[in-house]
Chains A and B, each alone.
Chain A
Amino acid sequence: MGLASYLVRRLITFLPSVLGALLITYLIAYIIPTDPVRAWVGEKLMDPSTLERLRRDYKFDAPWYEQFAFLVEKLLTGSLVDPVRGVPVVQQVAQRFPVTVELAIFGMLFTVLIGIPLGIAAAARKDSAIDFFVRIFALFGSSMPAFVLYYFLILVFYVHVRASLLAGVPTLSPSCAAALDNVKNTVPLLGHAVWAVGQVPILGGLMCMDTGVVSTTVARMWLPGLALGLLSGGFVARIVRNSLLDALSSDSILFAKARGLSSSRVWRHALKNAFAPIVTILGLNFAGLLTGAIIAETVFNIPGMGLYIYQGITRLNFPIIIAGTFLFSIIYIVMNLVVDLIYALVDPRVRY
């Protein structure tokens, strides 16, 4: 009971939201009074019969709700096809999503590495120079235009100091990919999960202990990760600082000190209690990185979901739009669930 039923309950309430999200996106794209099929074809000269065929295939002659149902059905059965490139959408997503995940992981890593220690230091030395610095750092982080920072970092670390790669996406070595496939095929549910995780190059590389993949991935991703970390690190630090200070001024900390607990035990009490808001912010941050890294992907030339969706939208590529929206909604839902799960694990009051 308890945890499991809680999860199930949360899942059920979100399914209607996903459907709603799909509907809205579809309607938005539908309203655009340009001929989508023409947009897909682009400048190429096409004979009218092919255009007609495309129109019929994607049900453009049918009323909007039929078209919507058609797209959703194709989506859920995994048979949605990108008309521009003629490749199944699922395949394209499977290629590009892991890259975005990788970027998000690196971004998260730096955010946490920068934000949490700074936040703890600021809380430990309240109103000191470091506290003031954290405040200013957070303000700069939220005032700096992302693309400007990206260009600047590229200027420093790529042009002047060749410390980064700006092209290519490392992939798993064939042996590693085969090993993962093996796991997927032999072990049931867990095997699929492991395989899915392994598709993200850095994670797969770590799992296979493939130093080649790991080192090229790091060389490629550390700079955008650092950039993302600098932008949100300050904000996270402030949240950490504030929630730690709140926890430290609580009566239970006074009682802990009155019991003569060592400073490390006292801090453990404070950190555990300060956990909740920090986890929420980090979860939201991660979800944001997964769904909104368009600018980073553009500047750093990373072929992830962000660019994919962006191109899909600008070219009115309905299948991509639908698939992308679906994915993004799922991401938010899963993120919310994960955050709630972590809460439930840490805080016994939440479980009932």
Chain B
Amino acid sequence: MNQARAKSDTVSETPFSVRDLRALRAAARRRPADFAATVPMMTLEQLAAAKIASGDPYSLRWRKKTPPRVTFQLEYDAEVSLYTALEAKELNIYAEALRRCWSLFGITKGDRVAIFDYGTSPVSYLASRSFTPYLAKGAADLLGCLPICNDGAANLSQRAVEIVRFVRPRLLFLRADCLHPFAAEIHNGALRLASYVDALVAVENEGMLTAAERDSYQKSLGVPIYRLLRADAAMFLAPECPSCGLFHIWPDLYHVERSAQEGRAGRLLVTNWFAGSCQAIRYLSQIEAVLERPGCPAGSQHPRIRA
């Protein structure tokens, strides 16, 4: 048994105990089957239960002695509110994940990017260092872009249309539940969307437009629509590649597995490699997906998922 395996075996069976991420990562890479067999899953229900039992807003996940600098309340419709917290360094890596999403969607220096989502969505708060304390560089800062955000509330869709008309962003990130009212506003205004934006990106936390819904909106709006997967409890982001149509995963940031457990089969398990102070290890998401081999020209080493 190698050293990494030994370390992963020595941790407690409780899902929220502090783990040596480097050792776990080595274990996941060398012996994924053992990793899956020995490291317990983390579920939303467990996070809620741990929070209720302990009174700790971070569900016993915060491992530093000092309190976190930045705490985010998560977007889950759970009985209790859940939180994650990040140190500045981790926040920056999370923003790098968003930067990679933007790059895969074709965003480059000088582009304008619009985000129609809540300020507390990572798609918004990781966009610029102006938006979030202690973030050194957001995705827009890293790429040299100009971002604009507004609340992704359905009744504010008119604002999204005004952004499109006057700012002409290259890409508009849009909450999936705002697509319908946004499309209605576009049609009411008889706007030819393709004259203003290159594409839309539909975003949802642990959910996704179906391919059929996407095709229908693409047809009615006349622009490509890509999807961006989020699992906020694991600080996970995965973009749908415009080239291969699959979702790319960055192995230096995340490890993904597909649950085989009865009743949960097919759901994505996410391990986050950069969130050391508020860990997310084998987080069982609601995302149903199939793992695919790397091989896309847009990122030949990226594992991919079909969702």
Answer whether A and B are interacting partners: no
Query: Which residues does B use to contact A, with CB under 8 Å?
Result: none
Binding site for B on A (CB under 8 A): none
